[in-house]
Amino acid sequence: MLFTSLPFVLFFVAVFSLYWFVFNRNLKLQNFVLLISSYIFYGWWDWRFLLLLFFISLSNYLLAIEIRKKEKKSQRKPYFLAALIINIGTLIIFKYFNFFIDGLASLISLSGVKVSIVTFNIILPLGISFYIFLSISYIIDVYQNKLEAVRNVFDALLTFSFFPIILAGPIHRPIGLLPQIQTLRIFDKARAASGLKQILWGVFMKMVIADNCVGYVSSVFHDFESYNGSALVLGAFLFTVQIYADFAGYSNIAIGIGKLLGFNIMQNFAYPYFSRDIRDFWKRWNMSLTTWFRDYTFLPVAYWVSGKIKSEKFYFINTEFLIYITGITVTWMLTGLWHGANYTFIVWGLIQGVFLIFYHVSVKPRKRLLKRIHLSNNNSIFIFIETLFTLTIIMFSWIFFRADNVGDAFKYISGIFTRSVFSAPDIKTDPVLFFLIALFFIVEWLGRKQEYAIAGIGLKWPVLLRWCLYCIIIFLIGMFMSTNESPFIYFQF
């Protein structure tokens, strides 16, 4: 049941009607409607995994209560570890078991010993990485006394299964979601109107921009050795556009649906392709995931390493720099692995880590250089060059993200750096697509200071003119939406 499908529209209309017109004065019944709706929504994909979702949710609910009952840390720790084992263990079994077994067999084979491996045909449950991360953050926050363990089982189950965000985020942590679930919600026309506009823009991003890039991207990446260098550049560029429009489009729709239901779900994208450096990019891209890894991986690792090294230098390396390198490397290797059981994702993650370390090292020299050449940091030309450089880095890193394996990624990149990169792309493209992409980024640029691109556009216009804008977007969706609607990219994670 895709957000952009007719079944979902009918489903949501039914949920919305019951939620606001029948049970609007009863918080418990509202939450029960949302819980049943969330289970129907998730079970629509594969009802067999409803039991897994229920098991994970109930386990975290019960173990969190036991954690809060104990006063001493030594008494609470076994329950905390049990919850981590259940959450992480489930993720490993369903997502990484075969990957780790293959890797272990390859490692053993390097010593000359032949081993026979056993793998299983395990179906990856949709959204498992998202709701497992919700569960982990909940149990950690309860253990660290940042969050009170919820006593109402229905509130707990809803927290881990809320249908707008369960399949592909944003990873809105329980510490921010639970208080909203436990508070009576009043229908707000202004918030609902904002939600409808955000959904409209999200649908445009997905159905007009992302879905129309799919055919070209698939063609180039599946048969990259048949195309010249400029076509490979074009394929990488279109995937760069596709993954942003697809994932940010999903997030906009999810946040918009949340607003219609009276919830404020955290912003997940803040126009990342307008970032002037790699650190700024990762403050703007998939913000819910990057902040999750910052709080639950980078900071704990950095704190642990700092406690182990007492001297100012470690083997001639500044301790603070070593702590940063260690934290970044571990965090981004795990971030890459989170995306999938493939070495391409690990390499992609490490690439991000390397560039973040390079940026960290270059901050002070960059300031000195700008001062020496009397160039302002706010110089428009300089900002444009830095932004273009950052976007180029990101585009090339997406090649590893999209490629089937690491070898193909390197071959793809080597195919770009040939003389053919200066010739016309040997792939037929539709000029209308590039017009739509240009229009899309123009609107994004104009609305870059807003929560989503069209949030502030036309607010001061006459009502009729403002509605003309929305009708134009609806017309473009109807006119140019792809006939080959594809699932959202992040469903696979």
pLDDT in tens, 225-258: 999 999 999 999 999 999 999 999 999 999 999 9
Tell me how far apart the alpha carbons of residues 224 and 220 are, in angstroms, rounded to a whole number: 5
Tell me how far apart the alpha carbons of residues 203 and 198 are, in angstroms, rounded to a whole number: 9
Confirm if 57 and 44 have CB atoms less than 8 A apart.
no
pLDDT of residue 105: 66
Confirm if 255 and 265 have CB atoms less than 8 A apart.
yes
Tell me how far apart the alpha carbons of residues 352 and 359 are, in angstroms, rounded to a whole number: 10
Confirm if 245 and 210 have CB atoms less than 8 A apart.
yes
Chain-centroid distance, C-alpha 340: 13
Phi, psi of 261 (to 5 degrees): -100, 5
- Average pLDDT of span 409-432: 92
Over the stretch 184-216, which tens digit does the pLDDT of each residue have? Answer: 999 999 999 999 999 999 999 999 999 999 999
In terms of pLDDT, which residue wins out, 82 or 461? 82
Tell me how far apart the alpha carbons of residues 98 and 121 are, in angstroms, rounded to a whole number: 9
* Closest of 386, 355, 353, 352 to residue 369, by C-alpha: 386
Q: For residue 477, give both structure tokens.
A: 């969706």
Lowest mean per-residue pLDDT among 43-47, 346-350, 388-392, 443-447? 43-47
Burial 25-53 (b: 16+ CB within 10 A, else e): eeeeebbebbbebbbbbbeebeeebbeeb
- Alpha-helix runs per DSSP H in 261-342: 278-284, 287-293, 299-308, 319-339
Confirm if 131 and 38 have CB atoms less than 8 A apart.
no
Tell me how far apart the alpha carbons of residues 6 and 347 are, in angstroms, rounded to a whole number: 38
Over the stretch 293-350, which tens digit does the pLDDT of each residue have? Answer: 999 999 999 999 888 777 777 677 788 888 999 999 999 999 999 998 899 999 999 9
**Residue count (the chain):** 493
The domains of the chain are located at 12-187, 191-492
Report the 10 Å Cβ neighbour count for 218: 16
3-state SS, residue 74: helix
Q: For residue 25, give both structure tokens.
A: 């004065």
* Closest of 443, 470, 7, 446 to residue 193, by C-alpha: 470
Lowest mean per-residue pLDDT among 36-40, 45-49, 143-147? 45-49
Confirm if 56 and 86 have CB atoms less than 8 A apart.
yes
Tell me how far apart the alpha carbons of residues 68 and 61 are, in angstroms, rounded to a whole number: 11
